[in-house]
Amino acid sequence: MKIILIGPPGAGKGTQAERLAKEWSLPKITTGDIFRENVKNKTALGKKVEGILQSGELVSDELVVDLMTDRIKETDCVAGYLLDGFPRTVGQAEAFDKWLLKRKNKIDCVIVLDVDHKTALQRILGRAEQAGSGRRSDDNSEVIRKRLDVYEKETAPIVSYYERQGVAVHIDGTQNVEQVFETICSLKK
């Protein structure tokens, strides 16, 4: 099963991705984690993307698509995978579809976690406060607003892109973690 999770920052994507990957025994590939790990380890990729992550802007489509398609070529992804944070623009979605098509593959389901901006903002600010000094460097209110703006402008259009393909499923992401998880799991039954 090849699954994509989409939702604004604060939608609970990371939490659900973690649980779903375990439940469905799928490798979970999270672009944000890959970038943060590279920044932490001061790799060439990390140095390239550090400033972009701190600003709340997006890394270039070309770089992300190359990174993800290389990752998905690995053997653990043969039976399927769960993508968290990719694709994030229509350009990435189109490039990814082309790449899949060449391999006679396609995405089975795109789960869209719907959360209004007010709830998303409150959740991320709450997360930042809770985490205290260990918080993400892009979890401050100015950058969060930027990330939400970037989501609306760049990422929200891919929802209709996948709706046109008939693979998008909307889930009410304002429910509590357990309810969201149960609702997503019931899709498979």
Catalytic residue numbers, as ranges: 13, 88, 127, 136, 147
Residue 15: CB minimum distance to ligand AMP, A: 12
Instruction: Please name the residues in contact with 167: beta carbons below 8 A apart, sequence gap of 6 or more.
Output: 107, 108, 109, 110
Q: For residues 14-33, which are near ligand AMP according to CB under 6 A?
A: 31-32
Tell how many helices (H) and how many strands (E) occur in the chain: 9, 5
Residue 1: CB minimum distance to ligand AMP, A: 20
Q: Which is nearer to ligand AMP, 123 or 147 (CB)?
A: 147
Q: Please, are residues 65 and 93 in contact by the beta-carbon 8 Å criterion?
A: no
Q: Which is nearer to ligand AMP, 43 or 182 (CB)?
A: 43
Q: Which of 56, 82, 107, 168 binds ligand AMP (CB under 6 A)?
A: 56
State how far the Cα of 24 lies from the Cα of 111, in Å rounded to an integer: 14
Residue by residue, DSSP assigns 93-137 as: HHHHHHHHHHTT----EEEEEE--HHHHHHHHHHHHHHHGGG--T
Please give the structure tokens belonging to residue 21.
């990957």
Stretch that binds ligand AMP, among 58-66, 124-132, 166-174, 176-184 (CB under 6 A): 58-66
Q: Which H/E stretch holds residue 30?
A: strand 28-30
Q: Please, are residues 110 and 168 in contact by the beta-carbon 8 Å criterion?
A: yes
Please state the φ and ψ torsions of residue 107, each to the nearest 5 degrees: -75, 135
Residue 186: CB minimum distance to ligand AMP, A: 25
CB closest to ligand AMP, residue no? 32
Q: Is 123 in the site for ligand AMP (CB under 6 A)?
A: no
Instruction: Please name the residues in contact with 131: beta carbons below 8 A apart, sequence gap of 6 or more.
Output: 139
Q: For residues 67-106, which are near ligand AMP according to CB under 6 A?
A: 85-88, 92
Residue 29: CB minimum distance to ligand AMP, A: 10
Q: Is 52 in the site for ligand AMP (CB under 6 A)?
A: yes
Q: Which is nearer to ligand AMP, 6 or 189 (CB)?
A: 6
Residue numbers of the site for ligand AMP (CB under 6 A)? Answer: 9, 31-32, 35, 52-53, 56-59, 64, 85-88, 92, 138, 147
